[in-house]
Amino acid sequence: MNTLTNKVVQLGAEDLRRLCLECGADGVGFVEVDRLSLADEHDAFLRVYPRTRSLISIISRVNPEAVQSPVREIANEENHRTTKEISHIVVAIVRRLNTLGVRGLATPVGFPMNMDRWPGKIWEISHKPIAIEAGLGQMGINRNVINPRFGNHVLLDTILIDAEIDNYDQPIDFNPCFNCNLCVAACPVGAIEPDGTFDFEACMTHNYHDFLGGFVQFVDAIADATNAADYRSRNTDAETASWWQSLSYGANYKAGYCWAVCPAGDELFGIYNMDTKNYVKTVVRPLRDRQEPIYAIKDSRAEKIARRRKNKTVRIVESPIRAPIPLIDASGGE
Ligand code: B12
Ligand code: SF4
């Protein structure tokens, strides 16, 4: 809405696309706020920004080689760096749009989220279905959006604006996921199944050990301990230092291997296809066989899978999701 003329601004899709790319986006697409396939999200859009008329979906590529490194601090740093980068890009886009009389806001890439709702739907806007509707990719077996060029090696963000756009995008008519199942093979807790079923609890328990519910358990462990020796008998010094690192430098993922190994998308497929055996040897094996602790719930499928894996030390923990998970509903409530 132009605040001087009080009229809804109409933006040209191609000019807007150019503006977003100039601000640093690696890909961009547009969706009208009342797209039927996003009906479940509609209330959330208006709750976040009541004057929303259009959604701008933005992707920023991560460097796959960094994300694939068995030196996981490199992967985590790349994740954090790209998160900051895309956050700056979307703010720059909103500022440029303001000069054209368009108002709007950029939503968080990931954290911070609404912890009052933990362990429910703590995020407000689901970037994945918007990116799919904006023609930026399709969902892979690993439940990540795979862009035809950059593969799943992208982070996503969404801008809500009060203007209309003269041409909205549509989903692409093919899925870059080609069922290689490397994501299934790489996950140390078997969270990804070949039919695309995703074990949320297994991923949350291991990959997110140092944040959210894992952090709540850390506090419990301190509170329950009778003394330092008692605490240390249940948590190694390395684990305590790992929590400190996540608090100080941004939460560190323990795995994310399903995202790392995916070879789909034009930029990586050639490397994979040229020598698939070598890709498995140099990208998948180093992560699959990485020496590391694996956090799993007792007698879970995740525990059984982790025990079969080479070089893994299984650490039994409680479920980080203590209350039954409330259904994800459109109101964003419990
Ligand atoms: C919640 C969440 C998670 C959850 C659930 C993942 C999921 N599949 O939904 C967990 C904690 C497991 C997670 C892990 C990761 N995530 Co995440 N995550 C999100 C978040 C905040 C919302 C995702 C969402 O909309 N889910 C709902 C629907 C759309 O997803 P779905 O796959 O169709 O449905 C699944 C969930 O609903 C899940 N589920 C079932 N019951 C429950 C209950 C609860 C309470 C929850 C939370 C989920 C859940 O199982 C469903 C079946 O597959 C977004 C950021 C955002 N605001 O959008 C990032 C996001 C999806 N994550 C991302 C990434 C990169 C990751 C990790 C790779 C992080 C890492 N480095 O390890 C892993 C990959 C795990 C995986 N294979 O999905 C990227 C994906 C980029 C891309 N190319 O698609 C996003 C978009 C962040 C971003 N801004 O770029 N994530
Ligand atoms: S690793 Fe293979 S099966 Fe998994 S999402 Fe990527 S292309 Fe699809």
> Does 262 sit in the ligand 2 pocket, CB within 6 Å?
yes
Beta bridge partners of 27: 59
On whether both 61 and 157 belong to a single domain, the answer is: yes
On whether both 141 and 206 belong to a single domain, the answer is: no
On whether both 193 and 157 belong to a single domain, the answer is: no
**Residue 330 resides in a domain:** no
Whether residue 333 is predicted with pLDDT greater than 70 in this model: the reply is no
What confidence tier does 322 reach under pLDDT thresholds 50, 70, 90?
confident
On whether both 191 and 155 belong to a single domain, the answer is: no
Rounded distance from Cα 7 to ligand 1 centre (Å): 37
Q: Which of 68, 147, 181, 279 to mutate to test the pocket of ligand 2 (most atoms within 8 A of CB)?
A: 181
Average pLDDT over residues 258-277: 98
Print burial letters for 11-49: b (CB count within 10 Å at least 16), e (below 16): bebeebbebbeebebbbbbbbbbebeebeebeebbeeeb
> Does 204 sit in the ligand 2 pocket, CB within 6 Å?
no
On whether both 19 and 158 belong to a single domain, the answer is: yes
In whole angstroms, give the CA distance from residue 158 to residue 96.
Answer: 16
Q: What is the CATH number of the domain that holds 33?
A: 3.40.109
> Does 211 sit in the ligand 1 pocket, CB within 6 Å?
no
Percentage with pLDDT > 70 across the chain = 95
Domain limit, last residue, from 140, 165, 190:
165
Rounded distance from Cα 15 to ligand 1 centre (Å): 31
Whether residue 320 is predicted with pLDDT greater than 50 in this model: the reply is yes
Domain limit, last residue, from 139, 165, 191:
165
Average pLDDT over residues 130-144: 98
pLDDT digits (tens, 9 = 90+) for 39-93: 999 999 999 999 999 999 999 999 999 999 999 999 999 999 999 999 999 999 9
> Does 153 sit in the ligand 1 pocket, CB within 6 Å?
no
Amino acid identity, position 20: C
Query: What is residue 334's predicted lDDT score, i.e. its pLDDT?
Result: 32
Locate the ligand 2 atom nearest the alpha carbon of residue 192 and give its number: 4
- Per the prediction, the chain carries an average pLDDT of 94
Nearest CA to ligand 1 atom 40: 200
Query: What is residue 7's predicted lDDT score, i.e. its pLDDT?
Result: 83
In whole angstroms, give the CA distance from residue 10 to residue 198.
Answer: 40
On whether both 39 and 160 belong to a single domain, the answer is: yes
Whether residue 218 is predicted with pLDDT greater than 60 in this model: the reply is yes
Per the structure, the count of domains in the chain is: 2
Query: What is residue 123's predicted lDDT score, i.e. its pLDDT?
Result: 96
Average pLDDT over residues 312-333: 71
Helices 200-207 and 301-308 pack at an angle, to 10 degrees, of 60
On whether both 54 and 103 belong to a single domain, the answer is: yes
Query: What is residue 330's predicted lDDT score, i.e. its pLDDT?
Result: 37
Query: What is residue 6's predicted lDDT score, i.e. its pLDDT?
Result: 74
On whether both 159 and 200 belong to a single domain, the answer is: no
**Residue 1 resides in a domain:** no
Query: Domain limits at 97?
Result: 10-165
Print burial letters for 264-289: b (CB count within 10 Å at least 16), e (below 16): bbebbbebbeeeeeebbeebbbebbe
Average pLDDT over residues 225-231: 96
On whether both 124 and 60 belong to a single domain, the answer is: yes
Output 324 or 208, whichever has higher pLDDT.
208
Query: What is residue 325's predicted lDDT score, i.e. its pLDDT?
Result: 59
Nearest CA to ligand 2 atom 2: 180
Rounded distance from Cα 181 to ligand 2 centre (Å): 5
Beta bridge partners of 315: 295
On whether both 140 and 224 belong to a single domain, the answer is: no
Average pLDDT over residues 221-225: 95
Whether residue 139 is predicted with pLDDT greater than 80 in this model: the reply is yes
Query: What is residue 110's predicted lDDT score, i.e. its pLDDT?
Result: 95
Rounded distance from Cα 160 to ligand 2 centre (Å): 30
Q: Which of 174, 177, 187 to mutate to test the pocket of ligand 2 (most atoms within 8 A of CB)?
A: 177
Output 6 or 197, whichever has higher pLDDT.
197
> Does 109 sit in the ligand 1 pocket, CB within 6 Å?
yes
On whether both 144 and 247 belong to a single domain, the answer is: no
In whole angstroms, give the CA distance from residue 40 to residue 96.
Answer: 30
Judged by its nearest atom, the ligand closest to the C-alpha of residue 187 is: 1
On whether both 112 and 186 belong to a single domain, the answer is: no
Locate the ligand 2 atom nearest the alpha carbon of residue 264 and give its number: 7
> Does 129 sit in the ligand 1 pocket, CB within 6 Å?
yes
Average pLDDT over residues 173-200: 96
